[in-house]
Amino acid sequence: MGIDKYALFLSLALLSEIIGTVSGFGSSILFVPIASLFFDFKTVLGITAVFHVFSNLSKIVLFRKGINKDIALKLGIPAVIFVIIGAWLTTLIPTEKLSLFMNMAIVLLSIYLLINFNKPIQQNNTNLYIGGTVSGFLAGLVGTGGAIRGITLAAFQLPKEVFLATSALIDLGVDSSRAAIYVGNGYFRKEYLFLIPFLIGISILGSYTGKLILVKTSERIFRFIVLGVIIITALFQVITVMNK
């Protein structure tokens, strides 16, 4: 891949990081389909996981005052357990068809939540455990589970600072776990190590830019952004998989 394509990839990665920060569920739901235009699927999984470790660290520093430890533990522990299971399964089964069905389900669920915007999901431990389990498993298996976690947190109607900080803390555990498995299985090849400094810079700049935008965004608009971006990106991934 030439320098021009790497430059385009990194520019799109920055855009996905900014949008991911503003929407609250991280950049993976945008970054995965973007990276798929440049790399094979397993390399995409490896690069995404490594990139997101830096991305989440940036968000935790920027939004650390909003962390809800109770939600982070109840959503995060099952997410970490099941991301390991999902990541391990990538070594055994094809994931393209699973990605298609997952994104179709996300579109339908997001539309339902938009229609029932003022009817939040009941805030109980069961919903947190389910959201953590499903988001973690899908993150490990197809590279992005942020949409499910985003839908769960958005439905709880959390303040945006709490939403972002808590989501980033959970995602750090998820991405650190799957990154170890992906790297151990050779998904992040040595030839791409030079991307790491660029990805670190993008994670910091994108998260900070997203924070500046969020300062001028109301809580209601923020929740609309979350669900709207989820629908658009899930539809994009459905179309991408169907055209392969």
DSSP codes joined into one string, 109-140: HHHHHHHTTTSPPP--HHHHHHHHHHHHHHHH
pLDDT attached to residue 156: 73
pLDDT attached to residue 201: 93
pLDDT attached to residue 167: 84
- Residue 57: other Cβ atoms inside 10 A: 18
Angle, alpha carbons 131-168-190 (nearest 5°): 105
pLDDT attached to residue 202: 92
Burial class (CB in 10 A: 0-12, 13-18, 19+), 90: buried
Which residue from 200, 180, 196 is spatially nearest to 80, judged by alpha carbons? 180
pLDDT attached to residue 81: 92
pLDDT means over runs of 10, the chain (244 residues): 83 86 71 79 83 87 84 89 86 66 66 64 79 84 70 75 84 84 84 90 90 79 71 70 66
Predicted TM-score of the model (pTM): 0.73
